[in-house]
Amino acid sequence: MNVMSQLFSIETQKGKQRGILSIYILHSIKKKPKTGYDLIAEIKDKTEGTWDPSKGTIYPILKHLEEDNLISVKEIGLRSKKIFMITSEGKKTLSNVKKHGRQMEENFLKFRKLISEIVGSKHGEIAEFFHNIRVLSVSKSKMKNDEVKNILDKCVNDLKNI
């Protein structure tokens, strides 16, 4: 698989590639059972209206997730709408994805500088500092969460006072 196709996908514990949309659907359904329509509306909202996925995008993914026993139909709602819930296998898959989710984030960050150059970011150096702060904050917060929060809080307050 080439780097571009890996950019928004991750390998599950069973070795199957899952795209970011499949992973997001599992994540969303884990929080609360939903219909395909609910997912379409949620994704549109989360992307601030820039992406309104079609039924032809969402429903085949739901079908594949159901065939792979990662989700199941909880109930049939009004107008015969299927309400999907995550299965225990789906929870295991999502947990595995989260454990290795850093891989997806790293894949995306590999292209960050290219994207910044394309759009002509005037603040590339600041963006690089922000990225480094983010990476260090996440890695250090596992051991010293309160200390990291205090440093970041001070940074935010200092920036507000400029």
Which class in CATH covers the domain with range 3-100?
Answer: mainly alpha
Decide which of 107 and 53 is more confident.
53
Confidence band, pLDDT 50/70/90 cuts, at residue 144: confident
Estimate to the nearest angstrom the gap between the alpha carbon of 55 and the chain centroid: 20
User: Taking residues 22-34, what's their average pLDDT?
Assistant: 95
pLDDT of residue 82: 93
User: Which pTM does this prediction carry?
Assistant: 0.66
* Extents of the domains making up the chain: 3-100, 111-160
Checking if the pLDDT of 161 tops 80, the result is yes
Centre a 10 Å sphere on the Cβ of residue 95 and count the other Cβ atoms it contains.
12
The C-alpha atoms of residue 20 and residue 3 are separated, in whole angstroms, by 15
Please give the average per-residue pLDDT across 45-66, as a whole number.
93
DSSP secondary structure string for all residues of 12-79: -TTS-EEEHHHHHHHHHHHHS-B-HHHHHHHHHHHTTTS----HHHHHHHHHHHHHTTSEEEEEE-GG
